[in-house]
Every structure is written in C-alpha cells, then in structure tokens.
Structure 1
Amino acid sequence: MVKSFDRSGTEVWYVRAFLAAALAWLPTANASQQIQGKVVGISDGDTITILDSSRTQHRVRLHQIDAPEKRQDFGEASKQSLSDLVFDKQVTVEVVDRDRYRREVGTVWVEGMDANLEQIKRGLAWAYRRYARDPAYRAAEERARSARRGLWSQPNPIPPWEFRHKRK
C-alpha cells in the first residue's frame, strides 16, 4: 500500500486499506446469487427450506407469487402442490432479494421447471401484483382463472394479502 498523508502530514494509508478491504466484502449491485441444494421443508405454498452442500439451511420465499395462507381456502392444497413439486429434490434458486423476515427471495428451479410459475399455473397461487414483473406470471394466472383451476374454482377467492390484512 502506498503511503499518503493528510494536510497535517499524518499517514492515512490505514484508512485506504480499511476501505479497500470493506469494499471487497460488499456484494456487487444487482449481482445474482444462486443457491443449490435439497429441499428439506415446505412451510406453505410459497416458502421452502433448502439444505445446501455445506449443510447450511436457507429459508426461501418464492418470488413473484403469493399463495393462500395455511388457514385460508386452498392453503393446504397449495402447500401440498409445492411439496409435490420440490420436496426432497435438488433445486437451484435464483436469489433476487432478502425479505424483512430474513428469507431469501427467488425463483426456484427444479428439473428445468420454474416452480413459482407452476404454482400459478395449477391455480394455487396468485401472481403477486406488488412484485410480479414477468408477464408470464400474470398470463398464467389469467389462464388458471379462465380454466377455473384450483382456487379459481371459487366465485371470489380472497387474495392472501387481503386475508392477512383482515386478520390484523
């Protein structure tokens, strides 16, 4: 490290060294992280637990979807569907964020299939309007509605975000 001096002649190389070390640890902006591992738990229709190769558990919230709550109509069916898709299987998660509950948020890929999108196609999750940016998710929801699949077999299913709000 090259020594430098502030106006008073004091060495400030240690500040630069500290900053360089700190910046090396920061993740790059918009860097996509991937998690690979085996699904060892299903909390509900949009949350899973993965065990990676270093035996670290990751709680993952499926991005762009919102599934019925456990006590809501189709809550258990949504959980069972996600379990059928990913439980005890190797998956890859494209992590896009971390939520306020410290879960990683991402798209779950199993055997080449987007499990998040599949939950919507089966009529067991909504395209989460607040976060869904991929038009395929909204289109899949419209097709499930038209076909009256899953929760869309009911005349007026209550979105999970409204169900949660009413319970508070």
Structure 2
Amino acid sequence: MTIRPVLMLLCCLPNLASAEPFSCRVVTISDGDTFTCLTPENKRRRIVLAEIDAPERKQPYGAEAKQALADLLLEKQVVLHVQSVDRYGRTLARAYVAGLDINHTLVAQGAAWAANQQLKDHRLKDAETLARNMGKGLWQLPAESRVAPWDWRYAGSIDLPQKTTPQRSASFSQFGGN
C-alpha cells in the first residue's frame, strides 16, 4: 500500500487520525465483539473490540457472546480508545461504559478469548485464564466445542468434505495434504 491511500483513509476518518478517545451511542450488535455506533455527528461507525476475539455467531457460544455484548453496550454511550483500522475499514478499539473496560469484562465473563496476536494488555490473558479455571461462559462447554474463533474461521475457509465442528488442532493431512 502506498502512502497516499493511507493518508486519504486518515483524512476521511478524523477521529482515527488522532489518539483522542471519542464517544458514540451503540445502535446494533453484530456478534460478540463487533457493533455499530452512532457518533454525535450522526455518522455510523463499525467497531471491532481490539485485543479480544469472541465466538462467531454460528459457533458454540456465539449467541451467548453476542448477548453478553448487547447487555453491556446496546443503546449506551460508549467511549472508544482507537488502536487502528483493519483491512475492512472497521475501527479496532477498546470500549468503556461509565469507566468499565468492556473488552476485559467480556474475557473475564468467558464470552471472549484474549487475542494473542494483537495483545497489548496482558491483563486480558490473566482474565482469560481465570475465567477458564472458574469454568465461566464458553469455558463451561465440552472441550471439543471450545474452538477459538480464529481456528473456526480458518476451518470454514477451507473446503472440507462435510462441515463439522472444527477441531482445535487439526493435522495438515486431514485437509488433503501429505
């Protein structure tokens, strides 16, 4: 990517060009870590919670994760601390309602994993470990049903003979390799 498109993107998204937090009202929940909010300027923003990953809608605990996020955010004013914009133009942020760290709360409730590849706040990993040890949320599921969302998405992107619950650690030979 050249510098010009990046500069154009930053100019089109004024709140993202600065590190200043901004607030908006949450109007829809897409899944356990994605929502849409309305800014004071009446602009819709698609937000993905940074540093965490919740179960996908169709995977085990997906509906419960979506409901957990709705309970915390829907129709509420949220303060967003933007970290970046992803390749789809969605804002990646930490979210706060009345000082409550929503990203951390979801992991502590067992409604999301700490996303190791983008982890900046290592307290999220501690919250995940505690939720796992206490059997909270998705950690109540049988082990074979607890598939990290990144593994679930990967398994759904390859052409399997029949779609079954993806396994956490599948060998290459299971997918037609040698």
Q: Could you state the TM-score of these two structures normalised by the residue count of structure 1?
A: 0.81
- Equivalent in the alignment of 1:78: 65
For 1:1-168, what aligned pairs fall within 5 Å after superposition? 31-156=18-143, 157-168=146-157
- Distance in 1, matches of 2:84 and 2:36, equals 16
The answer to whether the Cα contact below 8 Å between 1:40 and 1:49 also exists between their aligned partners in 2 is yes
Report the Cα offset of residue 101 of structure 1. 1.1
- Kindly indicate which of the two structures has a greater share of residues assigned to helix: 2
Number of residue pairs the alignment of both structures matches: 143
Larger Rg: 1 or 2? 1
For 1:137, what is the secondary structure of its paired residue?
helix
| Structure 2 gap ranges (5+) | 1-7, 158-178
Measure, in 2, the Cα distance between the counterparts of 1:33 and 1:68.
Answer: 29
In structure 1, C-alpha distance between the alignment counterparts of 2:154 and 2:20, rounded to whole Å:
32
Gapped runs of 5+ residues in structure 1?
A: 1-21
Offset of residue 34 of structure 1: 2.2
Tell me the equivalent position of 1:11: none
Q: CA deviation at 1:31?
A: 4.0
Question: Retained in 2: the 8 A contact 1:33–1:96?
Answer: no
Runs of 4 or more, structure 1, over 3 Å off, are none
Partner letter of residue 158 of structure 1? V
CA-based RMSD of the aligned residues comes to 1.8
Q: CA deviation at 1:35?
A: 2.5
Following TM superposition, by how much is the alpha carbon of 1:111 offset from its aligned partner in structure 2, in angstroms?
1.2
Give the TM-score, by structure 2 length: 0.76
Tell me by how many angstroms 1:155 deviates: 3.5
